[in-house]
Amino acid sequence: MPDHTETPKWKLQANWLLKELIRIWQGYADPKSLFEEKSFVKTFKQIMVQYLHDSGSSAPQIEIETCITIRRLTFSARHNSEPTFTSQAYEAEWIAEAVAIHRLQFELITDDVIKMIIRIANAIEDILQTCGTIPSDYLVSIEELLGDFVPNIDELPVIPITK
């Protein structure tokens, strides 16, 4: 088994979320646990808090709230309205962008795992809004959905996120 002690904890948590989303897409897990009551946003936000911690923040919970508040105020001042999101995936992407901008660490929003998480979550939410459930009879493969290399989820090093 490979040693993943060098992998940042945020990345291990992101791998866990990616794995859960793929399991939902493939029909092996119920989407409710991740998508009811803004659970996806809360889970994704935990990854961002861990990212800030791994990046040296002494108060990552406070820092994430600061990132979000500054981004929200900037948006409101520029557009004269509060930001609204059509999906939890878009809100999560917005949070990642807020952290990246605040920290000037743009590799966060170009990270392959983060991009896959947002893409799969968005597709799942679209289907849930249309069908109410994830049908298994006509979905494209996860590889087709992402249009890219998809890691073997059984080999991804993970740290589960507790709610």
pLDDT digits (tens, 9 = 90+) for 3-32: 556 899 999 999 999 999 999 998 888 998
14: Cβ contacts below 8 Å, ≥ 6 apart: 47, 111, 113, 114, 117
Q: Report domain extents, the chain.
A: 9-153
Residue 2 has pLDDT above 60, yes or no: no
Residue in 31, 27, 35, 36 with CA at minimum distance from that of residue 139: 27
21: amino acid identity, one letter: L
Whether 108 contacts 102, CB under 8 Å: no
22: Cβ contacts below 8 Å, ≥ 6 apart: 120, 142, 150, 153
E strands within 37-87?
none
Output the pLDDT for position 1.
43
Residue 163 has pLDDT above 70, yes or no: no
Residue listed under structure tokens 């992101």 = 14
Residue in 31, 53, 29, 158 with CA at minimum distance from that of residue 103: 53
Q: How far is CA 12 from CA 5, 133, 162, in A?
A: 10, 28, 13
Q: What percent of the chain has pLDDT over 90?
A: 67
Task: Return the higher-pLDDT residue of 162 and 69.
Answer: 69
